[in-house]
Structure 1
Amino acid sequence: MQFLNEFFTTLNDLVWGIPMIVLILGTGLFLQLRLGFMPIFKIPYGFRMIWKSRKPGAAAEGEISPFAALMTALSATVGTGNIAGVASAIAVGGPGALFWMWMTALVGMATKYSEVLLAVKYREVDDKGEHAGGPMYAIKNGLGKHWRWLGTAFAIFGGLAGFGIGNMVQANGIASAVHNAFGVETWITGVVLVILTGAVVLGGIKRIGAVAEWLVPFMCIGYIACVAIILFVFADRIPEAFATIFTQAFSPTAATGGFVGSTVMMAIQKGVARGIFSNEAGLGTAGIAQAAGATSNPVFSGLIGMMGTFIDTIIVCTMTGLAIMVSGVWTSGATGAVLSSQAFEAAMPGVGKYLLAASLAVFAFTTILGWAYYGEKCWEYLVGTVSEKPFRILWTIAVFFGATLSLDFAWLVADTLNALMAIPNLISLLLLSPVIVSLSREYFANGGADAADASTAPARSTY
């Protein structure tokens, strides 16, 4: 067991090291350049499309609305990384890490846009009449049979990683947060999670989408409202916080209080790594959810899908980072969710830690739901729709074990497999970039309206 632990520790350090970060950022920057920074320029348009996409038109094909598909993708990405991940990045890399998280998100918008576009472009209809897509289908149908092994590799990594990073690790986080804040035994939380997870997951993508469509906006708005209280209490410190973030993004962070100091490289590495972990741009997962969205144009889906990265990192992660900064707790020496909890307590003594625990639990639960669909489609690609019911049952049962067992090794393996998912996806994005650019130019040259709602057409333009 010690050998396996050492092996996966070494492998994890390798796959999440500098080369992987360079590969993910490099691919995103390459796609931004090929697209003429269109994803950034179209952020306002993307927000308008999110609102319009709640009711797809008759010509659109898919199981759920594009809005529900986006909420499903956000349910998987807006999670513990937005609370514990941001705190860890600041605690180790200093406030400058938040700046590099922003840069990662802006570059990652092009990656997420491209992932979703290809997932919808090359999606298939399975033998149950439902749409299935994602990097594995983009590789299979876009690159041809000689590359099919690469799609299979993605599906294997995703199908296995999901049980760890998308299921048991999240359940463990919920059980720990509830136990620490409210004293509830982990097995009780495990039973409740099994009931709630089963009630949603066993209903498939339509039920997952319906729950995500209601729960994700509610949890995001609720969390932002809580952080807004912190920012209101310490409003006079906000300008100083931004100044510190920008200054320490390019200069060493001096030791102060319980903070031991960090280099610029550490700020970059932690900011980028936590940013990728939070918004999943480069992993290819969002395309799996968006492929179920009702649309007649893959570019339309891509524009909506890329907004998930903006919402996750630029909005939610920034709110967490600012709360930690203005409350002054970032120098305490704490890290992870404990640091975020200190920020909440500093502004709302006596109730802050409970609000943070509740937010963490809801964030992690929605991640379980989103990743359930990701894992299901990975196994469907490998063995067919016969895996659907067994997978959903096994996924639901795994939640209980996640809530009650120690998962250090499971987390390590899942984190490694999660990184390995990025490699096949990034290769397909680079090789299929001409398709991405061609479809994008055609869409905007024709006015940019998706058949789901012709009234949303922007002015004729190119980027």
Structure 2
Amino acid sequence: MDQLTKVLNQIDSLVWGAPLLILLVGTGIYLTVRLGLLQLFKLPLALKYLFEKNESEDNSEGDVTSFAALCTALAATIGTGNIVGVATAIKTGGPGALFWMWMAAFFGMATKYAEGLLAVKYRVVDKNGQMSGGPMYYIERGLGIKWLAKAFAFFGIGVACLGIGTFAQINSITQATQVAYNIPVVVSSTIITILVALVTLGGIKSVSKVAELIVPFMAVFYIVGSVIILVLNASAIPAAIALVVKSAFTPVAAAGGFLGATVKQAIQNGVARGVFSNESGLGSAPIAAAAAKTKSCVRQGLISMTGTFIDTIIVCTMTGLVLIVTGTWNLEYQGAAMTNYAFSVGLPIASLGKFIVTIGLIFFAFTTIIGWNYYGERCTEYLFGVKGIKVYRYVFIALVAIGSYLKLDLVWILADIVNALMAIPNLIALIGLREVIVSETKSYFKNYDYSKQAKAS
């Protein structure tokens, strides 16, 4: 097993080397420039759309509302990456990793916008009458490169079954419940597997209903706990932010349980964990966006963009600052245990901190599992048709059942590798379809400005 881990580490370093990081962040920077800092200037409008009732949804093609589609995407993104991933990034790359998570998220918002836009523009209806969309469709129908579309779908199934969708999530849930409440792994694993089966066998409408119910509640619940800790440690926040920025550009020496980190480690861990958390550029969220009831691809792109803002700029930042202001980042703890300890010492009632992290992790990870089940299902439908969906669902459930018995190090390395392989075809498509993205955006806002002027007069 140690030899396997060593080999996978070498593969991970190769695929997450400079070329992919440049392609990933570079695509976001390019789209940011071409779209005129859209993620900054249009964020208020995007948030307005998120909470505003869209009257045209009732008569639009699609399976679920735009909000439900976003919740499904957030269900798949707000998960262990926000609790375990941030802790892992800071443990390995130092506090500076949080800065690079911010950078990846900021430029990733433009990437996520483009993904959501293309997903709606090129979506189709499958033989079951469900909406199908995402990179495999905009690669095939937009770029006209079918083999690359199939490659994306294949890697998408790999991420769903071997990466974010199963092993990383179930492993984190069972370990957290065992550490916090001494619940045997076999018990928590069995319960989660049964619940996943009950939800996922119902398809996108079942998944979106659960996501709409759980995601907003758990996000607020976790953020409130984080805010309380930060308020209680308000005097330490300026120093924490200064440490984050300084550590992003200078090596951090070993201290306590922290082994030290170079700037390269900070960048690599920050960007990789940032992508694991918000999935911008990965090509997963547009699969959910394609199911939205909407007539405008730009509107859905803006709503999709808020997912990265909520996931990384808000939730991951909360976790990172809590780890730093409580001094937990340079202790011996790792993963969920690190975040758990930070909340326990940060809140006046230690048991409350443990409860927030453990329950938050369980619900976040559970919704990530069901969200990724849907992503893998759509990729399966693209490659094998609707007949392959049932087989895929049973295989996915079986993988959830065994995921908790794998070593944590192996789990995260596997997740990183398949993430990279999925991102490459999607990023190629975003670059290839850049003029479509820009022209659709310009056309929408030209009409939007005209409508505003007409109403004003």
User: Which category describes the TM-score, using the shorter chain as reference length?
Assistant: over 0.9
Please list the CA deviations of residues 269-317 of structure 1 after superposition, one character each: whole Å capped at 9, or x if unmatched: 2222211111111110000000001110111110000110010000000
Gap change, CA 1:89 and 1:353, over 3 Å in 2: same
Partners of 2:13 and 2:402 lie apart in 1 by: 27
Identity of aligned residues (%): 49
Gap change, CA 1:3 and 1:99, over 3 Å in 2: closer
| SS of residue matched to 1:351 | helix
Gap change, CA 1:8 and 1:403, over 3 Å in 2: closer
Unaligned runs of 5+ in 2: none
Say if 2:118 and 2:138, in contact at 8 Å, map to a contact too: yes
Aligned to 1:452: none
Partners of 1:106 and 1:458 lie apart in 2 by: 28
Partners of 2:251 and 2:8 lie apart in 1 by: 31
Q: TM-score, with normalisation over the residues of structure 2?
A: 0.93
Aligned to 1:267: 266
Partners of 1:31 and 1:251 lie apart in 2 by: 29
Q: Give the CA deviation at 1:107.
A: 0.4
Gap change, CA 1:6 and 1:88, over 3 Å in 2: closer
Aligned to 2:279: 280
Partners of 2:414 and 2:271 lie apart in 1 by: 21
Aligned to 1:23: 23
Say if 1:162 and 1:414, in contact at 8 Å, map to a contact too: no
- Which moved further from structure 2: 54-63 or 152-161? 54-63
Which residue of 148, 155, 162 corresponds with 2:146?
148
Gap change, CA 1:91 and 1:412, over 3 Å in 2: closer
Partners of 2:398 and 2:362 lie apart in 1 by: 18
Say if 2:58 and 2:293, in contact at 8 Å, map to a contact too: no
Say if 1:56 and 1:66, in contact at 8 Å, map to a contact too: no
| SS of residue matched to 2:448 | coil
Gap change, CA 1:410 and 1:57, over 3 Å in 2: closer
Aligned to 2:429: 428
| SS of residue matched to 2:261 | coil
Partners of 2:379 and 2:243 lie apart in 1 by: 43
> Quick check: 1:197 aligned with 2:196?
yes
Gap change, CA 1:371 and 1:112, over 3 Å in 2: same
- Which moved further from structure 2: 8-17 or 75-84? 8-17
Partners of 1:281 and 1:233 lie apart in 2 by: 33
Please list the CA deviations of residues 7-60 of structure 1 after superposition, one character each: whole Å capped at 9, or x if unmatched: 443222211222211110011111111111112211111111100157653332
Q: Give the CA deviation at 1:214.
A: 1.1
Partners of 2:182 and 2:137 lie apart in 1 by: 45
Unaligned runs of 5+ in 1: 450-456
Gap change, CA 1:254 and 1:4, over 3 Å in 2: closer
Please list the CA deviations of residues 97-116 of structure 1 after superposition, one character each: whole Å capped at 9, or x if unmatched: 21221111110011111111
Aligned to 1:438: 439
| SS of residue matched to 2:160 | helix
- Which moved further from structure 2: 375-384 or 1-10? 1-10
| SS of residue matched to 1:86 | helix
Say if 2:344 and 2:353, in contact at 8 Å, map to a contact too: yes
| SS of residue matched to 1:296 | coil
Q: TM-score, with normalisation over the residues of structure 1?
A: 0.92
Q: Give the CA deviation at 1:94.
A: 2.1
Gap change, CA 1:291 and 1:53, over 3 Å in 2: farther
Aligned to 2:315: 316
Say if 2:82 and 2:319, in contact at 8 Å, map to a contact too: yes
| SS of residue matched to 2:249 | coil
| SS of residue matched to 2:420 | helix
Aligned to 2:448: 447
- Which moved further from structure 2: 91-100 or 52-61? 52-61
Say if 1:125 and 1:131, in contact at 8 Å, map to a contact too: yes
Partners of 1:101 and 1:53 lie apart in 2 by: 32
Aligned to 1:34: 34
Query: Which letter does structure 1 place at the counterpart of 2:379?
Result: C
Say if 1:179 and 1:185, in contact at 8 Å, map to a contact too: yes
Q: Give the CA deviation at 1:448.
A: 6.7
> Quick check: 1:97 aligned with 2:100?
no
Q: Give the CA deviation at 1:206.
A: 0.5
Partners of 2:172 and 2:411 lie apart in 1 by: 13
Say if 2:63 and 2:131, in contact at 8 Å, map to a contact too: yes
Please list the CA deviations of residues 369-411 of structure 1 after superposition, one character each: whole Å capped at 9, or x if unmatched: 1100000000000010112222223322322222345576565
Please list the CA deviations of residues 395-437 of structure 1 after superposition, one character each: whole Å capped at 9, or x if unmatched: 2232222234557656544432221001100100001000000
Aligned to 2:118: 118
| SS of residue matched to 2:210 | helix
Gap change, CA 1:5 and 1:265, over 3 Å in 2: closer
Gap change, CA 1:13 and 1:66, over 3 Å in 2: same
Aligned to 1:419: 420
Aligned to 1:401: 402
Partners of 1:406 and 1:256 lie apart in 2 by: 26
Gap change, CA 1:321 and 1:138, over 3 Å in 2: same
| SS of residue matched to 2:58 | coil
Say if 2:115 and 2:286, in contact at 8 Å, map to a contact too: yes
Say if 2:116 and 2:285, in contact at 8 Å, map to a contact too: yes
Gap change, CA 1:93 and 1:459, over 3 Å in 2: farther
Q: Give the CA deviation at 1:92.
A: 2.4
| SS of residue matched to 2:294 | coil
Gap change, CA 1:412 and 1:250, over 3 Å in 2: closer
Partners of 1:333 and 1:2 lie apart in 2 by: 22
Partners of 2:365 and 2:87 lie apart in 1 by: 16
Partners of 1:254 and 1:5 lie apart in 2 by: 26
> Quick check: 1:356 aligned with 2:357?
yes
| SS of residue matched to 2:61 | coil
Aligned to 1:185: 184
| SS of residue matched to 2:318 | helix
Q: Give the CA deviation at 1:69.
A: 0.4
Aligned to 2:221: 222
Partners of 2:264 and 2:292 lie apart in 1 by: 40
Q: Give the CA deviation at 1:223.
A: 0.5
| SS of residue matched to 2:59 | coil
Query: Which letter does structure 2 place at the counterpart of 1:43?
Result: L
Partners of 2:193 and 2:302 lie apart in 1 by: 35
Q: Give the CA deviation at 1:195.
A: 2.0
How many correspondences in the alignment? 451
- Which moved further from structure 2: 190-199 or 66-75? 190-199
Aligned to 1:127: 127
Gap change, CA 1:207 and 1:262, over 3 Å in 2: same
Aligned to 2:109: 109
Query: Which letter does structure 2 place at the counterpart of 1:138?
Result: Y
